[in-house]
Amino acid sequence: MNTEKSLDDVQTNDDDDSFSRRGFVKVAIGGMACVYAGAIGYPVYRYLASPVEEAIAEASVKEVDLPGADKLPKGSTLMFMFGPHPAMLIHFADDTWSSLTAVCTHLGCTLHYLPPAPRIVCGCHGGQYDPHSGENLAGPPPRPLKKYTVKIVPGKVMVSRA
């Protein structure tokens, strides 16, 4: 009789062990699923949200002051950041100025300009733009560059949205 009771106890303990093991495995699998969902979901969220966040950051910047840029020699270019995006200030040999976004409208490569070249050229796929107006002249870019307003004041250049 005493032996039977012991067997019942053993079976009950086995059931408890089995239940707790099953419960542990469920919790572990649930935890791993949450970790994997986060590992996959966060980059997807960042990818989808980044254009919106960049647009908000860009919209919040209306003007950029460039201290000392009024001394930029004729025939040279200054790269700077207009909000989250690179931009360029060009001082032409004829003493005119231009400021444009330096982001290619094709796939977003950063543009460079070396005066007195007649065109801004994209190194990625050969897109070309007019350095005065920002018009797209050749290659795959579908749109002109965004042009900024330039104001020269003593000690700095102020670049603002047109």
Which stretch, 21-29, 45-53, 135-143, 147-155, contacts ligand FES (CB under 6 A)? 135-143
Number of residues that bind ligand FES (CB under 6 A): 11
Pick one of 69, 87, 90, 127: the residue that binds ligand FES (CB under 6 A): 127
Number of Cβ within 10 Å of residue 44's Cβ equals 9
Strand boundaries in the chain, DSSP class E: 63-67, 76-82, 85-91, 97-101, 120-121, 128-129, 136-138, 147-153, 156-161
The Cα angle at residue 23 between residues 20 and 27, in degrees rounded to 5:
135
Contact 40, 47 (CB under 8 A): no
Which stretch, 33-41, 105-113, 129-137, 146-154, contacts ligand FES (CB under 6 A)? 105-113
Which stretch, 25-33, 42-50, 52-60, 123-131, contacts ligand FES (CB under 6 A)? 123-131
Q: Does 144 bind ligand FES (CB under 6 A)?
A: no
Pick one of 69, 87, 88, 104: the residue that binds ligand FES (CB under 6 A): 104
Pick one of 140, 144, 151, 156: the residue that binds ligand FES (CB under 6 A): 140
Helix (H/G/I), strand (E/B), else coil: 37? helix
Taking CA atoms, 152 is separated from 45, 82, 116, 135, in Å, by 42, 17, 21, 23
Q: Does 125 bind ligand FES (CB under 6 A)?
A: yes
Pick one of 80, 83, 92, 106: the residue that binds ligand FES (CB under 6 A): 106
Question: Measured in whole angstroms, how far is the alpha carbon of residue 30 from the centre of its chain?
Answer: 33
Which stretch, 43-51, 58-66, 85-93, 120-128, contacts ligand FES (CB under 6 A)? 120-128
Helix (H/G/I), strand (E/B), else coil: 19? helix
Binding site for ligand FES (CB under 6 A): 104, 106-107, 109, 122, 124-125, 127, 139-141
